[in-house]
Amino acid sequence: MASTLNAAVSLTSSKSSSFPATSCAIAPERIRFGKGAFNYKSNSVVTSRRVVSVRAEVTTDAPPVKKVEKESKKNEEGVITNKYRPKEPYTGKVLLNTKITADDAPGETWHMVFSHAGEIPYREGQSVGVIADGVDKNGKPNKVRLYSIASSALGDLGNSETVSLCVKRLVYTNDAGEVVKGVCSNFLCDLKPGSDVKLTGPVGKEMLMPKDPNATVIMLATGTGIAPFRYFLWKMFLEKHDDYKFNGLAWLFLGVPTTSSLLYTEEFDKMKAKAPENFRVNYAISREQANNKGEKMYIQTRMVQYAPELWELLKKDNTFVYMCGLKGMEKGIDDIMVSLAANDGIDWFDYKKQLKKAEQWNVEVY
């Protein structure tokens, strides 16, 4: 459980929406969201649209945690799935919605926080569904779209009553030269604080966070695939829990096209400063960086620079790999591992099957 805090949260906006005060558990760090900021020292979230004020005092520290024996995360007791389904969704409210990519980035990505009043008790690694308002081209209600949750089980406000998403606005030109907008992503990115949003879930067990606090957790993400890893890292480094204190190694590889597309970097900088021996982060910026051969720096290109070290980690039974984002990166990562495994006389694809069976290789790509 989280350490004891006394807190009050008040939300105001130019749209005159209001929400009740609630309890909150958060770490005293300053987190920035694009043009807005979550400032734990001054106890507020400030954006162009609204202010979230938080008053909190941590009263306990997490005690040392004994090594946890390896057990299936998918059989973890208390993991809830499909509490809310498309025919009977939960209606939450938008508390915060702010763009977190720079204006010159190739595309917009938004961070959004929804209230759920504790009715969607998710775990780190799960997803929620969103049903956009309106109907499709056939006049039927829009179908549910799943999004990886981008907040820990405590949520961004620390009270277990909110859920956050990281969503890229989908806009593209089809073969006929027509501009096409993704229904659900544009619906979400355009939501205003105080608006209602229909949520389903939670769903999924593939990406559940390992329970072992001494594990090595390697996270491979492209773009908004960072979402599940943000909540891993919040639990590891920004929150205080009586029953969990991370003492292992968290190693994040994040691939994006431009520096202006990087997500949550100020949060990661805080984590790195707080736990330099436990957190490593490497970026692959494909349109701006290249390796010594002149090849674009994709996530697999960056990983090659650390390939021997990564392979040695993969030989350990407490190393867990998580991959989330564009499906194309999976083949590139396999290509790296094939040659590394072959050096030890191991067939990579057979070995990967063993890792998957042991829940040490977890993939959620699209």
**Is 113 flagged in the annotation as binding?**
no
Strand 319-325 and strand 361-365: the pairing is: parallel
**Is 188 flagged in the annotation as binding?**
no
Token readout for 4 is 């004891």
The CA distance from 159 to 227, in Å, is 19
**Residue 204 neighbours by CB distance under 10 Å:** 22
Q: For residue 222, give the 3-state DSSP assignment.
A: strand
**Is 261 flagged in the annotation as binding?**
no
**Is 198 flagged in the annotation as binding?**
no
**Is 87 flagged in the annotation as binding?**
no
Token readout for 353 is 């099957």
Crossing angle, helix 307-314 and helix 328-343, to 10 degrees?
A: 80
The CA distance from 319 to 86, in Å, is 36
Is 148 known to be catalytic? yes
Phi-psi region of 239 (alpha: psi -120 to 50; beta: other; left: phi over 0): beta
Which listed residue (40, 84, 122, 147) is catalytic? Answer: 147
Is 239 known to be catalytic? no
Q: How many residues does the chain have?
A: 366
Is 298 known to be catalytic? no
DSSP string, 7-63: EEEEEEETT------------S-EEEETTEEEETTTTEEE-SSEEEEEEEEE---PP
**Is 148 flagged in the annotation as binding?**
yes
**Is 364 flagged in the annotation as binding?**
yes
The DSSP H or E segment spanning 232 is: helix 227-233
Is 119 known to be catalytic? no
**Is 287 flagged in the annotation as binding?**
yes
Please list the residues that pair with 52 across neighbouring strands. Answer: 11, 45
Which listed residue (127, 148, 152, 164) is catalytic? Answer: 148
22, 161 contact by CB (below 8 A):
yes
Is 108 known to be catalytic? no
Strand 5-13 and strand 196-203: the pairing is: unpaired
**Is 321 flagged in the annotation as binding?**
no
Which listed residue (29, 108, 239, 364) is catalytic? Answer: 364
* CA max distance for the chain: 65
Which listed residue (42, 48, 312, 366) is catalytic? Answer: 366
**Is 67 flagged in the annotation as binding?**
no
**Is 222 flagged in the annotation as binding?**
no
131, 86 contact by CB (below 8 A):
yes
Mind telling me the catalytic residues? 147-148, 324, 364, 366
The binding site for NADP(+) consists of: 148, 168, 224, 256-257, 286-287, 296, 325-326, 364
The binding site consists of: 148, 168, 224, 256-257, 286-287, 296, 325-326, 364
